[in-house]
Chains A and B, each alone.
Chain A
Amino acid sequence: MTATTTPEARRTRTAGVDPVGTGFWSKAPVRMAVVLIAVAWSLPTVGVLISSFRSPNDINASGWWTVLVHPFETTWTFVNYQNVLTADGMFDAFVNSLIVTVPATVIPITMAAFAAYAFAWIDFPGRGILFAVVVGLLVVPLQMTLVPLLRTYNVLGITGSFAGTWLAHTGFGLPLAVYLLFNYISTLPRDIIESAAVDGASHFTTFTRLVLPLSMPALAAFAIFQFLWVWNDFLVALVFLGTDSEVAVLTARLNELVGSRGQDWHVLTAGAFVTMVVPVVVFLGLQRYFVRGLLAGSVKG
């Protein structure tokens, strides 16, 4: 039932019989294929990264790949980043993304964890049906909700507000969050939960002192998932938050730049990297949790 069997399986596998043989040459085609794929997959990003540090004139005069051969014949510069962060408003957009993303990650996780605990460990009438409905809502595409919500938001006057956007992300993220956290919380040992109750702990105390700390792996996995989802989201931000520079998030701002400065690659390449930097760092740093989250959502380990 747990994904933790995976590392063990890997170890026995590599310690076992070499599937292809031990010779260098018999492995060469596989190695070359892997290297080729790795290069092909990084090439688009590398091109943008290199270009973002070249002067505008150089970007337009020669392809970025020429610097791989002649690295010193191009003018390397940070000016593109300076301009894109200040004049093109990417710094403000970065801050806005932060304002949107952190609460839009914490709120749904908190709500989902409370709900998942109740679904797993508190007996109340209608529990089964309610849980089935919550999980069933996984099928609803975001698009199904936009038209009526847009109208409601306009009536309430919360279109273009950060708080409205947090709540929208919360609503859309909840079904998956409840589902994943329930799967984890419901498998916690019954003894622990029951002995807490015997010791006089209320449900609230059991939840905050016991269940939450024990559920850290699942919480972390979903947190990273939701964080990346919200940071990279464009549709929800576009509909509920809009493109005013006061509130526009990175994806919305980058899209504006494509529209207004579509040929200025020194702007677009640096801009693209500003949007990528946080998710890539989070992703590389916490890859283990993220993979666990993906696995939790998809296959048994």
Chain B
Amino acid sequence: MTAGTEDHRRRPGDRRPAGLVGAAASLMGLVVAFIGGYVFLTADAGPDRVMEWLYRTVGLDGQASAIASRGLDPLTSRLMIVVVALVLGVGGIWAFYIATNRLVDQFSARTARALRPWVFVGPAVAMLAFYLVFPGVGTIVRAATDDGGLIENLKFAFTDPDILTAWRNNVLWIVLGTAGSVVIGLAVATLVDRVKREALAKTFVFLPLAISMVGAAVIWRFIYYWRPPGEEQIGLLNAVLTGIGKDPTPFFQTPLVNTLSLIVVMVWLQTGFAMVILSAAIKAVPTELVEAARIDGASEPQTFFRVVLPSIRGAVLTVTTTILIAILKVFDIVFVTTGGRFESDVIANRMFQEMIRFRHFGRASMLAVALLVVVVPMMIINVRNLRRQGIGA
């Protein structure tokens, strides 16, 4: 696994490291630049003040007071923020690694060798600790202590009538959403394998994967749009309903119908993912295997269910667990369309509402822990499955 010990001899071609002072200075400069840029990005009218100061320093007082009184024009201001943000964000991270690496160069070869790995993994590990490990533990602690403590929060998470509705909906989402995406994805993957212009057909199904859930929610809100009977229906589904002589349905206001309607949106988004993974798996099934089955007189369905499907079992499992986890955490679609009203709530949305709207941090934390408990077994299945197949990139 390793490339052996680090070689610290310096070749003539190698750049000599800056002195310790230089390295420390570059690190300091980096910190100052970062703080300066940060202030620039967060302070009100940062660009205005910077430009004003710039003009004043070069002696263009007229320009400076113009900015002071009227402010910078919005486009210039925006562009400045973009440039600083990109330089700061993209350049900053590289400057940081170069500076810390130089700093380590100053130590004796032995110390440097011991420190070097931490220059490489340190920042990532620190980020993970700060953003995942500590908050994760914090959430568990809060679930057990905030809002009346562990028992109250547990009672809330598993007996509150509204939460029970959300759980029921989550089960519907999981079962119908996952099954829908995987089955349709598998069907499409099998069908497109037999037509010309396969790539084109796939693109149509695949494209929703590039669309945000908020965007998808708006797109489907238009499809499900409802107006009272007698008015012109501009939502596709209600136009069809009135066209065949039925009353238009307020899809989002009708309990259960709204959940089912929103699950359709998720299936629309996720089928492309299932299709791509399964299609690749189907193509990797050895041709000889399929042909042998045909020669033995197996029908198309028999070949599919007895030969192809067992060969792609691993891929089906991966797709199923991956989509299942995504669906379990679904939030945007419900938030944007119904907001969880009319009995359409789901756990992730409720968690957000408890956190941001009601400030019930203990309850929100308990719901998050509940999500984790459901996700973990799925993830374990997923990782094991990947490992069994031999992970390739």
Q: A residues touching B (Cβ–Cβ < 8 Å)?
A: 1-3, 5-6, 9-10, 12-13, 16-17, 19-20, 27, 30-31, 33-35, 37-39, 41-45, 47-48, 51, 59-65, 92, 95, 98-99, 102-104, 106-107, 110-112, 114-115, 117-124, 127, 130, 133-135, 137-152, 158, 160-163, 166-168, 170-172, 174-175, 178, 180, 183-184, 186-187, 190, 193-194, 196-207, 218, 221, 228, 231-235, 238-239, 250-251, 254-255, 258, 265, 268-269, 271-272, 275-276, 279-280, 282-284, 287, 291, 294-296, 298-301
**Number of A-B residue pairs having CB atoms within 8 Å of each other in the complex:** 413
Contact mask for chain B residues 241-261; partner A; CB cutoff 8 A; 1 contact, 0 none: 000000000000000000000
Contacts A197-B4, A272-B218 hold; do A41 and B38 have CB atoms under 8 A apart? no
CB distance from A146 to the nearest CB of B (A): 6
CB contacts (< 8 Å) of B379 on chain A: these are: 138-139
Contact in complex: A44, B284 (CB < 8 Å): no
Contact in complex: B356, A122 (CB < 8 Å): no
Contact in complex: A118, B117 (CB < 8 Å): yes
User: B280 at the A/B interface (Cβ < 8 Å)?
Assistant: yes
CB contacts (< 8 Å) of B85 on chain A: these are: 99, 102-103, 162
CB distance from A3 to the nearest CB of B (A): 6
CB distance from A71 to the nearest CB of B (A): 17
Complex formed: what's the CA distance from A221 to B132 in Å? 24
Contact in complex: B367, A143 (CB < 8 Å): yes
Contact in complex: B93, A144 (CB < 8 Å): no
Contacts A34-B201, A62-B232, A200-B14 hold; do A174 and B124 have CB atoms under 8 A apart? yes
Give the contact-size bracket for chain B.
Answer: 35 or more
Identify the closest chain B residue to A262 (Cβ). B221
Complex partner residue of A296 from B124, B188, B287, B392, CB under 8 angstroms: B392
Contacts A38-B201, A103-B85, A110-B94 hold; do A141 and B208 have CB atoms under 8 A apart? no
Q: Which of A122, A162, A193, A196 has the most CB atoms of chain B within a 10 A radius of its CB?
A: A122
CB contacts (< 8 Å) of B74 on chain A: these are: 92
CB contacts (< 8 Å) of B7 on chain A: these are: 197-198, 200-202
Contact in complex: B368, A161 (CB < 8 Å): no
CB contacts (< 8 Å) of A99 on chain B: these are: 81-82, 85-86
Complex formed: what's the CA distance from A25 to B42 in Å? 65
Q: B residues touching A (Cβ–Cβ < 8 Å)?
A: 1-4, 6-11, 14, 37-38, 41-42, 74, 78, 81-82, 85-86, 88-90, 93-94, 97, 101, 114, 116-121, 123-125, 127-128, 130-136, 138-139, 142, 188, 191-195, 200-201, 203-215, 217-223, 225, 232-236, 239, 268, 271, 273, 276-277, 280-281, 283-284, 287, 290-291, 294, 300, 314-315, 318-319, 322, 328-329, 331-332, 335-336, 348, 351-352, 355-356, 361, 364-365, 367-369, 371-372, 375-376, 379-380, 383, 386, 389-393
Contact in complex: B234, A59 (CB < 8 Å): yes
Complex formed: what's the CA distance from A98 to B83 in Å? 11
CB contacts (< 8 Å) of A115 on chain B: these are: 120-121, 123-125
Complex partner residue of B208 from A41, A187, A221, CB under 8 angstroms: A41
17 additional A-B residue pairs with CB within 8 Å, beyond A232-B211, A271-B218: A1-B390, A19-B300, A20-B194, A33-B191, A34-B192, A103-B86, A114-B123, A141-B375, A146-B355, A149-B131, A183-B392, A184-B393, A187-B392, A187-B393, A218-B393, A234-B331, A250-B212
